[in-house]
Every structure is written in C-alpha cells, then in structure tokens.
Chain A
C-alpha cells in the first residue's frame, strides 16, 4: 500500500474518532440538560409547595381564629364553634372529607351519638375538614371547595357550622362526579341558616390555604385516611391496633368516650 494512501486512511480514522467523541460529548450534554431541567423543576415545585403549606394567612386567604394548632374546629357542649370548651373533657378529633362516603356513613350513624355525648359535656369535638379526595371530583376539587366553605362558616357564623356539615353530608355527591356546585353549596349554607352576606362569600374560597395547611398538618401527624378518629391524642387505627375504637361497631365509640370521661 502506498504511504500517502496509508496517511489518508489514518487521517480519516482520526477524523472519525474526533467526530465520534464530539457526538458522545453532545449526547452527554443533552442527558445532563434533561437532568438539570428536572432538578430545577423539582426545586421550584418543592419550594412553591412548602410556601403554600407553611404560612397562613397569605394575601386574602384567611385563617380560622377559633381553630387550634392542629387545624381542628372545636365544638363544645353548646354546639357553637369555639365556645364553652373545657380541657378536662375527653377530646375527640374527627378528620373528614366531604367527598368521603364513609365519612357520610360516620356522620349518619355516629353523628347523633357524638352530638349527644358532647351536649352532655363529656367530650369536646374538634372537626378537621380535609381535601384528600380532590381527585374524585373530575377536577372541580369538591373536597377543597366544601372544606373551605365549612371553615368560612365556622369562622363567620360559628353557630351554623354543625347544621351546615349535617346538610352537606345529607346531600353528599357520589365520588367521581363533579360534586356540588358552588351555587348548590351556597344554597345549602342558606338552608342551614347562614346569612346571605356570608353564604355568598363561599365561591371566593377564602379558606383554601387554611384547608391545604390543615390537610398537610393532618398528613404529618399520620392521618392518612378519612374518617379518622383521634381520642385524647390517640389515633384509632383499627387495622393495626386491636385496642382501637371501631366506630362501625355500634356502641363502641360511645363506650370508649364514656369510659374515658369516667361517666
């Protein structure tokens, strides 16, 4: 083989190698770019999310003065939010979601029992409206909208809160529907005796941040299902704790509260 041919071949091979390593570098940069974009998106999302759950109130979002640090709406023996509470009573925390069928079942079967015990002065009930089930309302976020409405009423017309919750569960929409419209929720609020001025504020969803933060707080204290009952700080986890109260067994919840109240 003549030497100039050899040189040409070597040159060609060298050029090909340079090109190959350039291509390799480019692909490396593309992959690195994908990773950096994803990392950036993650950081932004993480910081934004921390922001939405950390500080309440934000802008025109309201906080609920009557609620305690766990985002519970307290109801004592008078049935009025924030009134006539007594630390010496048993404390029952009820975590619920307006879209949750079992919450409706709880309200139907245990609501009157809990109300009676509360009116007897044996137990203070702290209601936590959550939005775990937003994904079951075809994008209308019924859980958030309804919980925000409940918080508004608890804040502005504390004596109508219990009646409103009752009516909302009586008219509970099926899962995977759009849920009740804002107008329907306003209507139910008025039916519960809420003034027009307050009821008409429901569509503005002034308590969305409060609901989000309350749900985040609940999730952080290991509430991962609804309805969830916490009695004197003890989560009643029937799946994993044989001593837990099973509210679906008639009488069990009442018995536990009476035992703890010493009555």
Chain B
C-alpha cells in the first residue's frame, strides 16, 4: 500500500509533539555539547603544552604514579587532550570520543579524591599550573563539582552522539545539515 504521507517509523503518530521536537533539537544540543567539550580540552591543554615542566611537576605533586610514568603523563596529557579535542571538533567517532572523555574524567576525579584523601594541598593542575599551594587556595569540592559537570557533558554525548556538521554524519551518508 503506498504511503501518501511517509511516517517516521520511530514516532507513532498519536504521540504528543514533544518527542519530535526533541528529535529536532537534540542534534543541535549535541553539537553545542561536543564543541564545548573540545573547548574545555583546548583550554586545559594550552597552558600545559606551553609549560611542560610545570605539567610534570603538577603530576608529581599527586604522588600517585610511579616515578618513570610521571614525565610521560605530564608531557603526554596536553597532546592527548588536543587530539581528543580535534576529534570532537571534526565530529569523528563521537561516541568513542565520549567514552575516552569519560574514562579520562574518571581518572582525574580519582586523582582529586586521592589528593583530598591524602590531605595534600595541591592545585589540581587541571588547567595548567598545579603543584602544592597554600591551604586556603585549595578547593576540592569545587573541583569535584566541575568534574561532575564534565561527566554530565560526556554522558550526554554518549547517549546522543548524533550531531550535525560532523564527519560521523557525512560518513553515514546522512545530510551533514539536518533538513527541517
């Protein structure tokens, strides 16, 4: 039987209009989330890349990793962050990127909890800098709240990775800009 009006198979016609509005809006929210995650990564990577020694010292201040790994992580982290940012900007393998992001955030959150638990007064070094600082400048709850926000962003991207203006969309042969 020919269909005069093609019906989106996922959306039963009798359902309220909100899900279809969500379907229209979600890709753009995802785009926003994707690009803000890339922005956060770049903001975190630049100061570290410009002062790699400080980045290594910040890693050492956690007193968490074996000595031999500290310079590798300290130097490698900004480049890793920039690579992930590039993938997010291109929108290539967005879902995989969101998983990498979440694993990274889990690592950072563990680091902050570790330092807090051990009673170290350190700046997290999340956005460059780092190392031991004065007690009144340490704000672990704020850092954890920030982490929580980042986890929410990553989880959203994991749940809704479809996004316009992305290599993923182009790869699947979808219109790069959704037509509405």
Contacts and interface: CB of A to CB of B under 8 A. Distances in A.
**Do A and B assemble together?**
yes
B53 A41 contact: no
A239 B115 CA distance: 12
Interface of B: 47, 49, 51-54, 56-57, 60-61, 63, 67, 71-72, 75-76, 79-80, 82-83, 86-87, 90, 92-93, 118-122, 128-129, 131-134, 167-168, 170-173
A42 B76 contact: yes
Contacts, number: 95
Contacts of B71: 46, 49-50
A211 to B, nearest CB: 11
B53 A30 contact: no
Nearest to B72: A46
Nearest to B122: A224
Contact of B61 (A23, A35, A39, A224): A224
Interface in A95-125: 102
Nearest to A34: B86
Interface stretch (A1-9, A56-64, A178-186, A214-222): A214-222
Nearest to B51: A135
Contact of A45 (B52, B92, B171): B52
Given A41-B79, A46-B75, A224 B171 contact: no
Interface residues of A, number: 35
Contact of B57 (A20, A37, A224, A239): A224
A169 interface: no
Interface string A17-38: 0011001101100110011011
Nearest to B89: A34
B83 A34 contact: yes
B118 A134 contact: no
